[in-house]
Amino acid sequence: MTLDLSPGFGVYVHWPFCAAKCPYCDFNSHVRHQPVDQERFAAAFATELATMRRRTGAHEVTSIFLGGGTPSLMRPETVGAVLDAIAQNWTIAADAEITLEANPTSVEAERFRGYRAAGVNRVSLGVQALNDKDLRFLGRMHSVSEALHAIGLAREIFPRLSFDLIYARPGQTPEAWTAELEQAIGYAVDHLSLYQLTIEEGTRFHALYHAGKFQIPDGDHAADLYAATQEITAARGLPAYEISNHARPGAESRHNLTYWRYGEYVGVGPGAHGRFLEDGTRIVTIAEKHPETWAGLVEAQGHGIVDGEVLSRSEEADEFLLMGLRLAEGIDLARYEMLSGKTLSGRYLSRLQQDGLVAPIGNSRLRATPQGMIVLDAVVADLAR
Ligand SMILES: C[S@@+](CC[C@H](N)C(=O)[O-])C[C@H]1O[C@@H](n2cnc3c(N)ncnc32)[C@H](O)[C@@H]1O
Ligand code: SF4
């Protein structure tokens, strides 16, 4: 079997609302105490998609990702309207992956059948922990039993399912995490995202952490948890294909692979980013973050883009390295040479190889080793010299 390494063309749609703000989260998410005007947002998505279509030209869409925020707060009709708008602008591939991020409260699980009928064929559930004490610590609105119910329902309704867990929580021992991970693998279908808890600036956890209210595993302890994660998932047939993402071979997220393989994607919605070729040049788009301000901009001018840039050849090559080396499959050296117009620095390459941070795959590819992944920014800085 040959490996399909084509980067694809994706569409990302950002739904920026959440029922409550989790204390660790710095994503573009907003809580509204009045009902959100979903028709207004669906119309604004359709307008911005049409503007993007004029910029990207015709393409076959290989994946769509409704992310957030909490897209499972969207009514199924809103999801249907967004998917229809995408189909009006580009061809959607017959086997396109269409993912919706869902929070596993019982209210949201009730909408699963509607999402499936609208065309969603994969859900990514934010389970985060499999014990109620840690779910409360993480400020989550669901219990373990609700999460398990949502997993069961999603397995019945959707052809594909992934769920997220956050580990390296305060006081979490390798034994406790190992047991929880084994349990999670038992519920998993073919994909898991496993993130180490990070303390992000501007979040409630940032203030609490810096006030000494809790500690998280760091240094050797965090590295042990990461190593245990890699070992257990590999042994159970869900090896890491990216730093935090694990799948049975063939069940990787097509949409995320498009980012990491440096494909093209359009981003619509508040705060969304896009990267695509316009007149042969890779450009970056960045939308206004505040939801209602974004909608107002779209209504006035057809899009909510407030920032962006045209990437130079060397910036493109650096991004390609940074994204591609996150993947177990590594990067295609010929594509690097084509993007950058040069070969990788031989001197630095052999030193990184000697240090065990990168390794060749045959003659044509290069990957970061597990040790290299931990210090990826520094590895890329050396390689790009
Ligand atoms: C932005 S959320 C969106 C999904 C959905 N709203 C939810 O909460 O499940 C995407 C994922 O990022 C992860 N995440 C967000 N902030 C994080 C942090 N500070 N540390 C580790 N993981 C984090 C969580 O696992 C979460 O499921
Ligand atoms: S983690 Fe998810 S639910 Fe919580 S605030 Fe962030 S986007 Fe919203």
Q: What is the pLDDT of residues 151-186, one digit of tens each?
A: 999 999 999 999 999 999 999 999 999 999 999 999
State which of 22, 164, 198, 204 you would mutate to test the pocket of ligand 2, scoring each by most atoms of that ligand within 8 A of its C-beta: 22
- If the chain, 385 residues long, is cut into consecutive pieces of 10 residues, what is the mean pLDDT of each piece? 70 98 98 97 98 97 98 97 98 98 91 98 98 98 96 97 97 95 97 97 98 94 93 97 97 97 97 95 97 98 97 93 96 93 86 95 94 90 87
The answer, yes or no, to whether any atom of ligand 2 lies below 6 A from the CB of 70, is: yes
Report pLDDT digits (tens) over 265-313: 999 999 999 999 998 899 999 999 999 999 999 999 999 999 999 999 9
Q: What is the pLDDT of residue 147?
A: 97
Q: pLDDT value at position 2?
A: 41
Position in ligand 1 atom list of the atom nearest CA 127:
9
69 C-alpha vs ligand 2 centroid, how far in Å? Answer: 6
Minimum-distance ligand 2 atom for the alpha carbon of 69: 7
Tell me if 231 sits within 8 A of 178, measured CB to CB: no
Q: Which atom, in ligand 1's list, is nearest to the CA of 199?
A: 19
* Among 29, 195, 196, residue to substitute to test ligand 1 (most atoms within 8 Å of Cβ): 195
How far does the centroid of ligand 1 lie from the alpha carbon of residue 10, in Å?
21
pLDDT given at position 1 = 38
